[in-house]
Amino acid sequence: MKAVIFDLDGVILSTDDYHYQAWKKMADEEGVYFDRKINNRLRGVSRMESLNIILEKAQREYGLKEKHVLCERKNGYYRKLLNHITSKAIFTGAIDFIEFLKNKGYKVAIGSSSKNATFIVKRVGLEILFDAISDGNNIIKSKPDPEVFIKAAEMLKIDPKDCVVVEDAKAGIDAGNRAKMKTIAVGEAVNYKKADYSFSDINKIDKNLF
Ligand code: BG6
Ligand code: MG
């Protein structure tokens, strides 16, 4: 292995609750039922696909234009909440683990479906650690499509088969497998059988694998 590609939300730091609060506000305003269980299905999924999942509970059909407006509205709420994010949101052990990999000569990248990923990475002061950031802005198809990880490997100039993906979403593990990369599941994906390795969180990943 030559490179490790990390998902951002739920792997390196926690923005889950901000996403939940922003979608919840939008759903309440629209009178659409939404709870944390539904929110779990949005992990790793793009903004528009997340909205489509939420609108499964809507009483009427929404047109594409209207959906774009709702996505923008949710993102406005989310960006407002993100203004409060600090380095405290970074999970224990995440920086140590990335530095350990870099010291061993691995390339490290972000592979996130979020269009806000670069903003978040900069905001919490992590941009210095990563050799590349592949995010929701440079892809057409979101996870489980492998595009975001393939683009990350291209940016790093490393063959996908020499890359490892670290993910907290089943869709992300599927994407890593489809990219022919090794996969490590953490957090919410810990029991997902399709991952090559599983650990409860980034701090528990066995360093002997590297
Ligand atoms: C992923 C999150 O990282 O980014 C998803 O796990 C989210 O929940 C997706 O929907 C898209 O995020 P954004 O910031 O582009 O709306
Ligand atoms: Mg995630």
We report the CATH number of the domain holding residue 68 as 1.10.150.240
| Among 15, 185, 28, 38, residue whose Cα is nearest residue 113 | 15
Kindly report whether the global pTM for this prediction surpasses the value 0.85.
yes
C-alpha Rg value of the chain to the nearest Å: 17
Mean pLDDT of all residues belonging to the chain:
97
What CA–CA distance (Å, rounded) separates 58 from 75? 19
HSE value, Cβ hemisphere, 13 Å, CA-based, for 96: 9
Whether residue 112 has its Cβ less than 6 Å from ligand 1: yes
Give how many domains the chain has, as a whole number: 2
Domain that holds residue 42: 16-82
Single-letter code of the amino acid located at 95 = I
pLDDT digits (tens, 9 = 90+) for 5-25: 999 999 999 998 999 999 999
CA 187 / ligand 2 centre spacing (Å) = 9
The share of the chain scoring above pLDDT 90, in percent, equals 97
From 82, 98, 123, the end of a domain falls on 82
Instruction: Identify whether the C-beta of residue 146 lies closer than 8 Å to the C-beta of residue 175.
Output: yes
CA 112 / ligand 1 centre spacing (Å) = 8
For residue 16, what pLDDT is reported?
87
Q: Are residues 163 and 124 part of one domain?
A: yes
Nearest CA to ligand 1 atom 8: 43
Q: Are residues 20 and 10 part of one domain?
A: no
Q: Are residues 130 and 27 part of one domain?
A: no
Q: Which residues are bridge partners to 166 per DSSP?
A: 6, 184
Q: Are residues 169 and 136 part of one domain?
A: yes
Q: Are residues 148 and 78 part of one domain?
A: no
Residue 115 alpha carbon, nearest atom of ligand 1: 15
Q: Are residues 142 and 44 part of one domain?
A: no
Mutate to test the pocket of ligand 1, among 18, 50, 118 (most ligand atoms within 8 A of CB): 50
pLDDT digits (tens, 9 = 90+) for 156-180: 999 999 999 999 999 999 999 999 9
CA 104 / ligand 2 centre spacing (Å) = 25
Q: Are residues 123 and 33 part of one domain?
A: no
Find the Cα–Cα–Cα–Cα dihedral 27, 31, 36, 37, rounded to 10°: -120
Q: What is the CATH number of the domain that holds 130?
A: 3.40.50.1000
For residue 80, what pLDDT is reported?
97
pLDDT digits (tens, 9 = 90+) for 112-139: 999 999 999 999 999 999 999 999 999 9
Q: Are residues 118 and 159 part of one domain?
A: yes
Mutate to test the pocket of ligand 1, among 12, 15, 23, 45 (most ligand atoms within 8 A of CB): 45
Q: Are residues 164 and 130 part of one domain?
A: yes
Q: What's the whole-number mean pLDDT along residues 89-106? A: 98
CA 87 / ligand 2 centre spacing (Å) = 17
For residue 19, what pLDDT is reported?
96
Whether residue 19 has its Cβ less than 6 Å from ligand 1: yes
Q: Are residues 104 and 123 part of one domain?
A: yes
Q: Are residues 158 and 134 part of one domain?
A: yes
For residue 58, what pLDDT is reported?
98
pLDDT digits (tens, 9 = 90+) for 36-93: 999 989 999 999 999 999 999 999 999 999 999 999 999 999 999 999 999 999 999 9
From 82, 106, 123, the end of a domain falls on 82
What CA–CA distance (Å, rounded) separates 142 from 150? 12
Please provide the size of the chain in residues: 210
From 37, 63, 82, the end of a domain falls on 82
Q: Are residues 93 and 159 part of one domain?
A: yes
